[in-house]
Amino acid sequence: MLLSIQDLQVDFRTGRIDGETRYHEAVGRGHRGVSFNVAENSTVALVGESGSGKSVTAMSILNLLPDNARRRGHILFQGRDLLRAGPQEMRALRGREIACVFQDPMSSLNPVLTVGEQLCEPLTGHLGMGRQAARARAEELLEEVGMPEPRRRLAAYAHELSGGQQQRVMIAMALACKPKLLIADEPTTALDVTIQRQILELLQRLQARHRMGMIFISHDLGVVGEIADQVVVMRQGLVREQGSVRRLFTLPQDPYTRALLSCRPLLTRLQPARLPVVDDQMAADASKHPPPLRLAPAKDPQAPVVLEARGLAKSFSFREGLWLRREFQAVQSVGFTLQRGHTLGVVGESGSGKTTLGLMLLGLHAPTAGDVLLDGQPVVGLRGAARQALRRQIQIVFQNPYASLNPRHTIGETLLEPLRIHRIGADDAARGEIALRLLERVGLDAQALSRHPHEFSGGQRQRIAIARALTLSPRVLVLDEAVSALDVSVQAQVLNLLKDLQDELGLAYVFISHDLAVVRFMADEVLVMQQGRVVEQAATQQLLGEPREDYTRQLLASIPRGWRRNVA
């Protein structure tokens, strides 16, 4: 056995009270530790909601936890107990025999070093290669992971690469010393479906070639079903269930596993009015009375048009060399209409122009050509008070709520700021009442007003971001990958909230996403973009059920289909 984790328990020192040191149990509860094995050339997936202990368990293997962490149990790697290994032994092990690939390659890659310099570092440090030999090997590694023009990419910096290319560099770095175990912590979460498919296939090819063991951490059960041999389901630091991927997908034994599987949006023709969430599903499972399926009601086809785009285009110019300037067409002649209470889904690969389109609708990018109409009135080129009024009508919710919320402001200050700027409410007391009602509307209470963003979970932060967007009573919300970083249960809660708010307030949504199953649940019409152009546009059921264009069919074919790969 390559790796054997036996009765692992991890807790974190939180301080001293009455002279006694207090600990928070992160992995393992009540003397129940985490145990599982990883064999050579096999993949074990760790799945569960945020805070379930997946990453803490994986990072315990290499002791990449904070100084206040305390580990107990046994982590046997080729017979060596890593919990008893010293700092020098662990430094020699990291990167050479056990390597990691993390979720966000941009934060893992050094922005001031070239790709070549970062790839050469483990080769010279662990293998003692000379500079020229290390550079040649670095080029081979980039070629092995499918990087186009590998020699030229050695001189590139991280910001000059796409998200998929950055992740390929991370995989190349992880494989530089031919490790026996690879830990992949959410390596495809932020990638669109086609790049995700490429990365999954790459990991599988490299694993077979090098006969690596792999621990794959993900909240996407479709991805897990495609890549894993064994699955470990975790909740609140405990293993709820483990077994073969086929058994867990077809005959899950634990109510929590069944609830996780039921929370996933599916590409089916019949769409429910609401997605099930874990707690509700587990309660229904315990009572043996599954809730009746309520289908989503039909939207009003006669609803007035709120937002219209006509021939929107955007180009960016950049310097190449000393004298030459080039122009890049990010968006080309996009048009649509959006009715009150309806949702337009915008899908496509990274770089297709989805976000640029959203920013033009908000007036944050001035279009090169075309116009945006709100209630039939042109809004491009507005200035002063007219532009300020537009801000109240169209708001945005970004992908990462922690990056879009000011970490130094309390939630109360975050919600009061737009109310003060737009002079809504007679005074701060009245504005505080508005802020409190908004928090209650998104499922939070008054205690949240005095707390800071870091004190909330990812799903709660996204609820706060939605509440902030609603402070000005907008008519249109642009949701830019607003649920892509959330686990399936929290994602279901946020999607249900968005549906409820739409029904209650008549909001119109521009829903930008790379997850076609989520778009299928949310959108009434879908706009498919490729390289800045709209290649297909139709009602959701028609477009996803009977796509006309090859590119749309390619996107649908790239969606992870679960365990069926393993039974072929």
Spatial distance between the Cα atoms of 126 and 155, rounded to a whole number of angstroms: 22
The secondary structure of residue 303, as a DSSP letter, is P
Q: What is the pLDDT of residue 565?
A: 45
Domain limits, the chain = 38-56+84-262, 305-560
Q: What is the pLDDT of residue 300?
A: 87
482 backbone φψ class: left, alpha, beta (φ>0; ψ -120 to 50): alpha
Q: What is the pLDDT of residue 63?
A: 92
Spatial distance between the Cα atoms of 562 and 403, rounded to a whole number of angstroms: 32
Q: What is the pLDDT of residue 190?
A: 66
**pTM, to two decimals:** 0.83
Tokens 């080309």 belong to which residue?
Answer: 332
Q: What is the pLDDT of residue 568?
A: 34
In sequence order, what DSSP letters do the residues of 180-201 get, joined into one string?
SEEEEESTTTTS-HHHHHHHHH
Give me the average pLDDT of each 10-residue run along the chain (568 residues): 95 81 83 92 91 90 91 94 92 90 81 93 89 92 87 89 82 89 85 81 88 90 89 93 92 91 75 81 78 76 93 85 79 94 92 89 90 89 79 86 86 92 88 91 87 83 89 92 80 88 93 88 93 93 90 86 51
CATH code, 38-56+84-262: 3.40.50.300
Spatial distance between the Cα atoms of 248 and 252, rounded to a whole number of angstroms: 5
208 backbone φψ class: left, alpha, beta (φ>0; ψ -120 to 50): alpha
Instruction: Establish whether domains 38-56+84-262 and 305-560 are of one fold.
Output: yes
Spatial distance between the Cα atoms of 462 and 41, rounded to a whole number of angstroms: 38
| Superfamily covering domain 305-560 | P-loop containing nucleotide triphosphate hydrolases (3.40.50.300)
Spatial distance between the Cα atoms of 187 and 170, rounded to a whole number of angstroms: 10
CB atoms within 10 A of CB 285: 16
* CA-derived radius of gyration, the chain: 25
CB atoms within 10 A of CB 104: 18
